C-alpha cells in the first residue's frame, strides 16, 4: 500500500504547511496562493452547463458557480480571481476533482449517499425526478405500461440502475438497452429502437424541446424516483465546503435564485432560443426555503413507491 504512505506523507506535509501559514487550508489556500479557481463544466447538459453557439460555456449551474466564486473572492480578500473553465465528462469529473484539476463541478450531478463517500456536495440547487419519455402514439403512462418492451436509458446513470432494479423486482420483462449518452438514448426512441427513455425529467424535457418534432413526445406523470442535483466539490475540506455552502444558501434564501432560475428555465435560451418552460417544482421550493445538502431522497419529497422498494433492498 505505497499509495497510502504517499497520501499520509502528503497529508502530513499539508498539515505542516497549513499550520505555518494563515488559517486557510485545502482548496481555499490553493485559490489564495495561485489566484486561480477552476470550474469543471459540461458540454451538453442543457440548460445546466453547455456550450452555446458562440463556443462559450454557460448555464444555470455555471451561473451558480460564479456566485460561489464571487463570494470566495470576497472572503479571501482577493482583488482579482482568475476563473478557468475545464470541460469534464461524467467519466472524468471524479479523477479531475480528486487530483485537484477542478475545484468545483458545475453540471447536473445527482447527490446521493453512495457518491458522498467519494465527494462532497453543495446545497441542492435543483430537484428532478426519474420519469418516462415516449412517443404519444405509444400510450405509455406508467411503469407497468412498459412490460415486455424495449426501454433505453443512459449507461452509468442512477436512472438506469433504478430501472434495472425495478425490472428485476417486479418481473416486468423489460429489455433494457444502455445508451452511450443522452442524445443517443433519445435517438433510439426517435428511430423506434426503444419505446421509451427513462431519465431525469428535466433532461427529457430539454431533449424533447430541441428535437425535430417536440409535440410527438410526452413525459410520464408517474415519477420513479427523486434526484437532487448539487454542485460537487472535494471531500474532507470543511473550510471550502463552508464557504460554498454559505454562498449557495445566500443565493437560495435571498431570492436571488428566482432570477437565475427564470433566466434558464422560463425564458428562451441559446443556442436555439427555445424556452424550457419548466416552472419551479414544489420540491425545489422547499429546498429554497430551507437549503440542504442531504443525499437522501426522503429529504426532498414523498419518495415514490418505486424508489422506496429499491432503497429498502439496500439497507
Give the residues lining the site for other proteins (CB under 8 A): 3-4, 7, 10, 90-91, 94-95, 97-100, 114-115, 117-119, 150, 152, 155-158, 160-162, 164-165, 167-168, 175, 177-180, 184, 187, 191-193, 234-237, 314
- Cβ neighbours for 162, distance < 8 A, ≥ 6 positions apart: 130, 198, 224, 225, 306, 307, 310
Q: Which is nearer to other proteins, 181 or 256 (CB)?
A: 181
CB of 161 to other proteins, least distance (A): 4
Minimal distance, residue 64 CB to other proteins, in Å: 22
Which C-beta is closer to other proteins: that of 128 or that of 162? 162
Q: Give the span between the Cα atoms of 81 and 133, in whole angstroms.
A: 42
Nearer of residues 128 and 281 to other proteins, judged by Cβ: 128
DSSP 164: H
Query: Which string of DSSP letters, residue by residue, matches 270-282?
Result: TTTTEE---PPPH
Nearer to other proteins among residue 144 and residue 168 (C-beta): 168
Q: Quick one: 158 or 252, whose CB is closer to other proteins?
A: 158
Question: Cα–Cα–Cα angle for 111, 232, 262, nearest 5°?
Answer: 80
Min CB(104)–other proteins separation in Å: 14
In the bound complex, what is the minimum distance in angstroms from residue 49's beta carbon to other proteins?
A: 17
Do strands 36-41 and 104-110 pair parallel, antiparallel, or not at all (unpaired)?
parallel
The smaller minimum CB distance to other proteins, of residues 115 and 182, is found at: 115
| Cα dihedral sign, 126-225-129-205 | positive
Residue 1: burial class (beta carbons within 10 Å; 0-12, 13-18, 19+):
exposed
Nearer to other proteins, 280 or 309 (CB): 309
Least distance in angstroms from the C-beta of 172 to other proteins: 12
In Å, what is the CA distance from 245 to each residue of 41, 144, 269, 292? 19, 40, 28, 9
- Residues of 296-309 as b/e, b for ≥16 C-beta within 10 angstroms? ebebbbebbebbee
CB of 12 to other proteins, least distance (A): 14
Minimum distance of other proteins from residue 272's CB (angstroms): 23
**Listed residue (310, 304, 308) closest to 169, CA to CA:** 310
Smaller CB distance to other proteins: residue 22 or 168? 168
Distances (CA, A) of 296 to 124, 293, 302, 303: 11, 9, 11, 10
Location of C-alpha cell 482568475: 82
Q: Minimum distance between the CB of residue 115 and other proteins, rounded to whole angstroms?
A: 5
The C-alpha cell at 235 is 471531500
Amino acid at each position: 500500500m505505497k499509495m497510502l504512505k504517499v497520501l499520509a506523507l502528503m497529508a502530513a506535509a499539508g498539515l505542516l504547511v497549513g499550520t505555518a501559514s494563515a488559517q486557510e487550508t485545502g482548496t481555499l489556500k490553493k485559490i489564495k496562493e495561485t489566484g486561480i479557481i477552476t470550474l469543471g463544466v459540461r458540454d451538453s447538459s442543457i440548460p445546466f452547463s453547455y456550450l452555446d453557439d458562440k463556443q462559450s460555456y454557460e448555464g444555470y449551474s455555471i451561473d451558480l458557480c460564479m456566485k460561489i466564486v464571487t463570494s470566495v473572492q470576497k472572503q479571501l480578500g482577493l482583488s482579482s480571481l482568475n476563473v478557468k473553465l475545464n470541460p469534464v465528462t461524467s467519466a472524468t469529473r471524479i479523477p479531475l476533482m480528486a487530483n485537484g484539476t477542478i475545484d468545483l463541478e458545475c453540471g447536473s450531478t445527482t447527490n446521493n449517499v453512495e457518491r458522498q463517500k467519494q465527494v462532497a456536495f453543495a446545497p441542492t440547487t435543483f430537484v428532478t425526478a426519474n420519469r418516462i419519455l415516449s412517443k404519444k402514439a405509444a400510450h405509455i403512462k406508467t411503469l407497468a405500461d412498459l412490460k415486455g418492451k424495449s426501454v433505453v436509458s443512459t449507461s452509468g446513470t442512477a436512472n438506469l440502475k433504478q430501472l434495472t432494479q425495478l425490472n428485476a423486482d417486479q418481473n416486468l420483462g423489460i429489455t433494457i438497452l444502455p445508451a452511450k449518452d443522452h442524445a443517443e438514448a433519445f435517438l433510439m426512441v426517435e428511430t423506434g429502437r426503444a419505446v421509451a427513455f427513462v431519465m431525469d425529467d428535466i433532461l427529457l424535457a430539454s431533449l424533447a424541446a430541441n428535437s425535430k418534432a417536440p409535440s410527438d413526445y410526452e413525459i410520464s406523470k408517474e415519477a420513479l424516483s427523486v434526484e437532487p442535483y448539487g454542485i460537487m466539490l472535494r471531500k474532507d475540506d470543511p473550510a471550502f465546503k463552508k464557504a460554498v455552502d454559505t454562498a449557495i444558501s445566500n443565493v437560495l434564501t435571498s431570492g436571488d435564485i428566482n432570477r437565475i432560475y427564470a433566466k434558464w428555465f422560463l425564458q428562451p435560451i441559446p443556442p436555439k432560443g427555445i424556452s424550457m418552460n419548466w416552472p419551479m417544482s414544489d420540491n425545489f421550493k422547499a429546498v429554497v426555503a430551507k437549503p440542504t445538502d442531504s443525499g437522501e431522497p426522503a429529504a426532498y419529497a414523498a419518495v415514490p413507491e418505486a424508489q422506496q422498494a429499491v432503497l429498502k433492498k439496500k439497507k
